């Protein structure tokens, strides 16, 4: 059974509204993607394991903790790229592994074009990053790749989702929790989320 977290945080809702606005320019759009991603990642990492450690303060010793498991951030190229910076700032020791998938415009199926994962997994928790969970094809394929690689825990962090994408992930990977800002109404006939925000890649990179 998939755990679905749809953020109810006012900061996320406020920034999401500005993100959707078609008059928002690429610079601001990237800033909003970065900020929303960090807020979602904060919520998505509440159950990370920690190990005890202590540090010396100017006043003496203080008991503390450090993150126990190596974390991987896995942006799905290209629109997942904009989500990395904000999350990486929160966990700078994370490794970033890129997966390149494009959506065949005819079949709407994902086609892999970039994957440089080493043979053995180097991380035990992965956050898969894609702002748009549309048909779910790319997210499902990426989680397939990470499971094949041997990653023990995988979470999906996205900004907007369509019910169709949520269903695809629920069916293919019910063990992967979905951390989302919002689930929108539907997909249109060419696979775009409605009302959505348009093409997240084009709007970040000023293309299209």
- φ, ψ dihedrals at 172, nearest 5°: -80, -40
Stretch that binds ligand URA, among 21-29, 49-57, 62-70, 195-203 (CB under 6 A): 195-203
Three-state DSSP class for 114? strand
Three-state DSSP class for 43? helix
Using CB under 6 A as the binding rule, whether residue 193 contacts ligand URA is answered as yes
Stretch that binds ligand URA, among 6-14, 70-78, 108-116, 199-207 (CB under 6 A): 199-207
β-bridge mates for residue 104, sequence order: none
Is 202 an annotated catalytic residue? yes
Using CB under 6 A as the binding rule, whether residue 132 contacts ligand URA is answered as yes
Inter-axis angle of helices 137-149 and 163-172, nearest 10? 30
Among 134, 168, 176, 180, binds ligand URA (CB under 6 A): 134
Is 103 an annotated catalytic residue? yes
Is 199 an annotated catalytic residue? yes
Q: Which is nearer to ligand URA, 37 or 79 (CB)?
A: 79
Residue 191: alpha-carbon gap to chain centroid: 19
Residues lying near ligand URA in the complex (CB under 6 A) are found at: 79, 132, 134, 191-193, 196, 199-201
């Amino acid at each position: 059974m998939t755990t679905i977290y749809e953020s109810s945080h006012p900061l996320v809702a406020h920034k999401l509204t500005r993100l959707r606005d078609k008059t928002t320019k690429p610079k601001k759009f990237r800033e909003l993607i970065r900020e929303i991603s960090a807020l979602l990642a904060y919520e998505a990492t509440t159950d990370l394991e920690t190990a005890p450690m202590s540090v010396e303060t100017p006043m003496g010793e203080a008991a503390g903790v450090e993150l126990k498991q190596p974390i991987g951030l896995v942006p799905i190229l290209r629109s997942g790229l904009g989500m990395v910076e904000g999350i990486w700032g929160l966990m700078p020791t994370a490794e970033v592994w890129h997966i390149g998938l494009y959506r065949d415009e005819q079949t709407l199926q994902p086609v892999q074009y970039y994957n440089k994962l080493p043979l053995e997994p180097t991380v035990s928790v992965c956050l898969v990053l894609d702002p748009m969970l549309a048909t779910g094809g790319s997210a499902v394929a990426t989680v397939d790749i990470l499971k094949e690689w041997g990653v023990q825990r995988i979470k999906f962090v996205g900004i907007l989702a369509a019910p169709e994408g949520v269903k695809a992930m629920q069916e293919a990977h019910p063990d992967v929790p979905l951390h989302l800002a919002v689930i929108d109404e539907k997909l249109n006939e060419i696979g775009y989320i409605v009302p959505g925000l348009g093409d997240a890649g084009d709007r970040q990179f000023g293309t299209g």
